[in-house]
Chain A
């Protein structure tokens, strides 16, 4: 565990050595600021629900940018060789990369607590749904990052990694959402299928529902993608 923490710490620090962390955090805060501004009107309910929902959409496009280099860059620069010849195993590496990125997500979300503070100053917001909404966004973000790390392990090109990750994340969120909105008279079977997707499950959290099934869904799918990444790392060395 110490070894993954060493790797996580290095990844987290290295975000701030390049413009990438600053650019992504700025973009995220501007976008979520606008989302909040739309709702922060007298007479509207004092909730974060819309803002939090919007944040998930932003993360679909922003987390892949943060995770694209995690492993792809190790392959392309050759540092994977120095890394793997230290006494670490594949799981240490994958967890380290994952938590390094996750820490950045947390840092990115902290300033948005300011919106909660503003709501609390001007109104009496119900803190329950806000809390569950944040739990949800951390779980969703974790899954997004796991998918991003996985895509990054497949290639030495960061470009390929980012495009692939955005594609997968869109298939899990934007696409089912659009189908639901656009297609009328859907068979109940397909409706139920669509309700299994990431976005539908996330909206439960922002409504204030901490459903065990949803939590397990996010934790499990995150674990699956991290596991797949470990397998990719293993198999790439056997070639």
Chain B
């Protein structure tokens, strides 16, 4: 349904989106996750034909975003970030206008407006001026507009930002309900949002995809990357060699090898094969070698931590870039 290959956007020297590739299958709902400024909106803007890519391409519903832009947009419902709307119009006028833009005749418009107003709980607000609505209500108007022409694909940029908790739950339920009939790509910077609604997640940082898959897959792969941190006193090289030979250990790194840590203690990071727990073996080996052991612990690598890391690294690199 959505197929993206090597999509790239450069602004001068800055690469906002860097060779991004992914697929979204029919009826799937996929979350695009990353910190602010990671390139989520830029990617979505390229997919909706608002921004032309610098290189690479994408197809939506089989139509090329560059050469068949109009067909792409006809088959697409898009909710931009911050939901820009014409504030002087009423909800119903706005939806009629959007329907006319999409070439829907009067009967079709009436029928579809009836449907989306009901779906997005806009019933009591259809004659209200958009400028007088709350942020959450405007979000619903934007969503109603995106659904108006019953598009095969929905692209939603931060659909639940600024909503109160009740509205967030309503929106999530609505998204899940829509997922069967529409293919949905949504961006967010909240992991729980993806957990609540999405089949798959794509993590993006500094314009690049750093991980993608179902949440289960991502969790499993994180578990494989779990490591045991050992703090002991002993010669770095020897500790490293000895621990490498412990059964189940795949790799050992000494984290503060050169300049010895406090009181001659070193910290070694031990990775294991196939998420085996090697703590007991490692501890026994160290004791047997007579190295004083101060701490041994399993560094959990949950998806949440990975995500926090992801967010933090972007913030740090940005601070570094600014300095």
Residue positions of A touching B, CB distance < 8 A: 2-3, 5-7, 9-10, 13-14, 17-18, 77-89, 237-239
Q: Verify if B217 is at the interface (C-beta below 8 Å from A).
A: no
Determine the residue in chain B with the shortest Cβ distance to A89: B70
Contact residue among B52, B74, B78 (Cβ-Cβ distance under 8 Å from A237): B52
Q: Are B50 and A81 in contact (CB under 8 A)?
A: yes
Determine the residue in chain B with the shortest Cβ distance to A7: B101
Q: Verify if B102 is at the interface (C-beta below 8 Å from A).
A: yes
Q: Are B101 and A85 in contact (CB under 8 A)?
A: no
Residue positions of B touching A, CB distance < 8 A: 11, 45, 48-52, 70-71, 73-74, 76, 78, 80, 82, 84-89, 93, 97-98, 100-103, 142, 145
Given A13-B89, A17-B88, 7 further pairs, Cβ under 8 A = A2-B103, A14-B88, A77-B87, A79-B86, A82-B142, A85-B80, A86-B73
Residues of B within 8 A of A10 (CB): 86, 89, 97
Residues of A within 8 A of B71 (CB): 87
Determine the residue in chain A with the shortest Cβ distance to B76: A85
A-B CB proximity, top 8 nearest: A78-B84, A6-B100, A17-B88, A87-B74, A87-B73, A79-B84, A85-B48, A81-B80
Q: Are A237 and B50 in contact (CB under 8 A)?
A: yes
Q: If the complex has contacts A14-B89, A17-B88, A238-B52, are A88 and B101 also in contact, measured as CB distance less than 8 A?
A: yes
**How far apart are A73's CB and chain B's nearest CB, in angstroms?**
9
Q: Which of A6, A18, A85 has the most CB of B within 10 A?
A: A85
Contact residue among B78, B82, B89 (Cβ-Cβ distance under 8 Å from A85): B78
Determine the residue in chain B with the shortest Cβ distance to A78: B84
Determine the residue in chain B with the shortest Cβ distance to A92: B101
Contact residue among A9, A18, A89 (Cβ-Cβ distance under 8 Å from B88): A18
Residues of A within 8 A of B100 (CB): 2-3, 5-6, 9
Residues of A within 8 A of B102 (CB): 86-87
Determine the residue in chain B with the shortest Cβ distance to A6: B100
Q: Are A78 and B86 in contact (CB under 8 A)?
A: no
Residues of A within 8 A of B70 (CB): 87, 89
Bound: A89/B49 CA distance, A: 11
Bound: A7/B101 CA distance, A: 7
Residues of A within 8 A of B142 (CB): 82
Residues of B within 8 A of A14 (CB): 86, 88-89
Q: Are A78 and B82 in contact (CB under 8 A)?
A: yes
Listed A/B pairs (13) with beta-carbon separation below 8 Å: A3-B101, A6-B97, A6-B100, A17-B89, A81-B50, A82-B145, A84-B49, A85-B80, A86-B73, A86-B102, A87-B70, A237-B51, A239-B11
Q: If the complex has contacts A77-B84, A237-B50, A238-B52, are A82 and B78 also in contact, measured as CB distance less than 8 A?
A: yes
